[in-house]
Amino acid sequence: MKKFLLLIVLLLVPLLTFASDDSSSIVLEKAPINVHDKSSLMRGAKSFKTLCMTCHALRMLQYNSFAKKAGITIDLMPAKDKEWWFAKAPPDLSLTVSQHGADWIYTYLQVFYQDPAVKIGSNNLLVPNSSMPNLFLGLQGKQELNANREKALNEHWRKPHYYSLLNKTSPGSMTNEQFEQTVADITNFLAYASEPSKLQRERTGVWVILFLVVFLVLAYFLKREYWKDIE
């Protein structure tokens, strides 16, 4: 019995470790992901093209019909040999949701704030000293750190939400709800980009399950016919 309990504990340790592996200093907001929402995906794709594709590529979608419909084509993506400000090319975002998770992306895009101490003039709560400039300044408005930042971050027993650390000092062209929807759409599209075959697999899976159900019914009646003669 003791050996059995020890085995259970050993099997659960990696799962518990994985679940607690969150190095972020703030709460990751829940991303409203729904890759079946084609309207959201299209809005996200168009926003990505307008806001992100100057620097970031999605090369895994270069042959994707949905991406092409949104205007995301290989010829519009940044060239691999392009010279960049910091001598380092921005990452391809094809697998960014698979790498970081949708909640991380959704939070990251909302927590830029003005910081005159850094060269690019802005910083990020989730990734301090991020080399990405605040492309959302005109849409979201200007955010600045409030005086409670240090106190909130020092409360180790509880991570703060980003909105408890930032104050909006000037509005953008969007309301808070509109901006959150735009970020949600971009995150939703990046979730789709990380696994574009998921929708096809789900559709195929439905047909496979239906086939198995029909096959099971036919096999049952066939079995009854065989055993009727034997009995």
What's the pLDDT tens digit per position in 159-199?
889 998 999 999 999 999 999 999 999 999 999 999 887 66
Q: How confident is the model at residue 8 (pLDDT cuts 50, 70, 90)?
A: low
As a whole number of angstroms, the distance between CA 207 and CA 225 comes to 27
Q: Which 8-state DSSP code applies to residue 83?
A: -
Q: Which pLDDT value is given to residue 21?
A: 43
Residue with tokens 């993506």: 77
Helix, strand counts (H, E) of the chain: 9, 4
Contacts of 120 (CB under 8 A, 6+ apart): 131, 133, 134
Q: How confident is the model at residue 9 (pLDDT cuts 50, 70, 90)?
A: very low
Helix, strand, coil shares of the chain as percentages rounded to 5?
50, 5, 40
Q: Which pLDDT value is given to residue 4?
A: 42
Closest C-alpha to 44, from 71, 63, 65, 64: 71
pLDDT over threshold 60, residue 3? no
As a whole number of angstroms, the distance between CA 145 and CA 69 comes to 40
Ramachandran region of residue 115, left (φ > 0), alpha (ψ -120 to 50) or beta?
beta
pLDDT over threshold 90, residue 110? yes
Question: Among 8-17, 182-191, 207-216, whose mean pLDDT is lowest?
Answer: 8-17
Q: Which pLDDT value is given to residue 48?
A: 95
Q: Which pLDDT value is given to residue 16?
A: 44
As a whole number of angstroms, the distance between CA 80 and CA 90 comes to 10
As a whole number of angstroms, the distance between CA 166 and CA 99 comes to 27
pTM of the model as a whole: 0.76
Q: How confident is the model at residue 13 (pLDDT cuts 50, 70, 90)?
A: very low
pLDDT in tens, 46-97: 999 999 988 898 988 888 888 888 888 888 888 765 666 666 778 889 999 9
As a whole number of angstroms, the distance between CA 214 and CA 117 comes to 67
